[in-house]
Amino acid sequence: MTVAVKHLTHFINGQEVEGKSGRFGDVYNPTTGEVIAQVPLATAQETREAIAFAQKAFPQWRDTSVAKRASIVMKFRNLLAANMETLLTIICTESGKTKEDARGEITRGLESVDLAIGAPHLTKGEYSVNVGGQINAYSAKYPLGVVAAISPFNFPIMVPLAQTSMAVAVGNAVILKASEKVPMTALFVSQLWKEAGLPDGIWTVVNGDKDAVNELLENKDVHAISFVGSTPVAKYIYETGAKHGKRVTALGGGKNNMVVMPDADLEQVANSFIGAAYGAASQRCMAISTIMPVGKETGDRLVAILKEKINALKVGSYEEADTDFGPVISAQSKEMVVKAINHAEAQGATVVCDGRQNEMVNEQGFFVGPTLLDHITTDMDIFEQEVFGPARNIVRVASLDEAIALINSQELANGVTIFTNDGAAARKFTTEVDVGMLGVNVPIPIPVGYHNFAGFKGSRFGEGHMFGPDQARFFTKTKTISERWLEPTEKTTSTFAFPSNE
């Protein structure tokens, strides 16, 4: 049966707009391997036109009361919840996620919208009376203008909502450049913003590749960039955007480690690791890449438990209720994951569970089975390399100090967690590990939407955050005003001394 290929558009100035470039990207259903849509890839000129519409719409939205803006965000939030089933279908179709995983993603995305509803509180200024000479001083936060978000394929809705909800709520005009691999979710969300009453031009989706991205980075009318993706691209986004005078937060990849102390409950550890490591086919920047058992006995026992549980996982379609995880996003991704497994084995890794032998690998979809590699050493490429697919590692260590040293030696520092019943070990770990997000006896240390999210070192460029109250600060600028009102009979004289509060 031939699948009808959808013809997608951009969303500009409140309307679906046909692409003009003549260039299109194929959108796949990763579960079947079929092309389900074609997405237009915008030229720099098309992107400039979208920016111009957003720039024109911005003043009206900036001047809209904070209460009115919050009410529109609230309506948008309610529409997201009401359209949960439609969103599930779109996300599963274009990303291959299971419905359970997609539902969790939407729920976490709603946390960002919930926080944005509270933007009036987060953007309150400060006021001081009579700081000197009957002068009052106060600060006020104002939106930046046109801002842009560049989002990844692995979270079609959670990351875009985290990048944009607060930006809209505090009064900016937002341009989203969604991943060309998963554009349908962003286009559907555009319709919900319109239905919620957001003025035309305040929400824009420009589909595209590097041409569109470079225009967003270089255009003088775009004042801030929020990016989530791989570390090399995050570095490029940060350097290019900063060069053009923009405020930039660029989140990159992660090589997230789970340390297992000898006193931990290994059954609990194994269950926690499997979900955190293989969920969404391991295509999460916060997925656990490496498990580090402390001591030989801990490692041997843990490997035996993991082997049995991992070999029982079911890889398949989101339409099957008992599927644990689905395919990776593309044929290229599948090829890269298998190549990484082959290379690690050639460098001396022990293949405990071999996803290359999974029955789904030979299907038309982009499937790779769960793979576990033991005896990974620091001289193997996969020790440092982020594999965006279900190939996970075991690095055996002799002590907690060794684990901390190995973690701190890595370039990527997104998330890390420890499983232990020893409070002193947990305190030592959280104090000494140089990583942005830490967990103690939790599988994935991703913060809730009202706490800041960001890694260290090669996992984050720029000082902005995703999620949390720092979003309100990132997407606003602060004016500080000093004012004095003269009495009708008050006289002033010139003074050449530097102003002071004496």
Q: How far apart are CA 156 and CA 351, in angstroms?
A: 32
Q: Which of 39, 213, 285, 382 is catalytic?
A: 285
Tell me which DSSP letter residue 454 carries: -
Q: How far apart are CA 371 and CA 306, in angstroms?
A: 11
Question: With contact defined as beta carbons under 8 Å apart, do 119 and 66 qualify?
Answer: yes
* Amino acid sitting at position 235: K
Handedness of CA 491, 497, 501, 502 (dihedral sign): negative
Q: Count of alpha carbons within 13 Å of 120, Cβ hemisphere only?
A: 12
Q: How far apart are CA 344 and CA 361, in angstroms?
A: 19
Q: Count of alpha carbons within 13 Å of 344, Cβ hemisphere only?
A: 31
Question: With contact defined as beta carbons under 8 Å apart, do 356 and 315 qualify?
Answer: no
92 catalytic? Reply is: no
Q: How far apart are CA 160 and CA 84, in angstroms?
A: 16
Give the residue among 320, 242, 324 at the shortest CA–CA distance from 279: 324
Strand partners, 175: 148, 204
Q: How far apart are CA 446 and CA 331, in angstroms?
A: 28
Sorted by sequence, the CB contacts under 8 Å of residue 215 that are 6+ apart come out as 44, 47, 48, 51
Give the residue among 356, 372, 388, 259 at the shortest CA–CA distance from 306: 372
Tell me which DSSP letter residue 71 carries: H
Give the residue among 304, 291, 292 at the shortest CA–CA distance from 353: 304
* Amino acid sitting at position 43: T
CA-angle at 169, arms to 167 and 172, nearest 5°: 50
Q: Which residues are catalytic?
A: 285
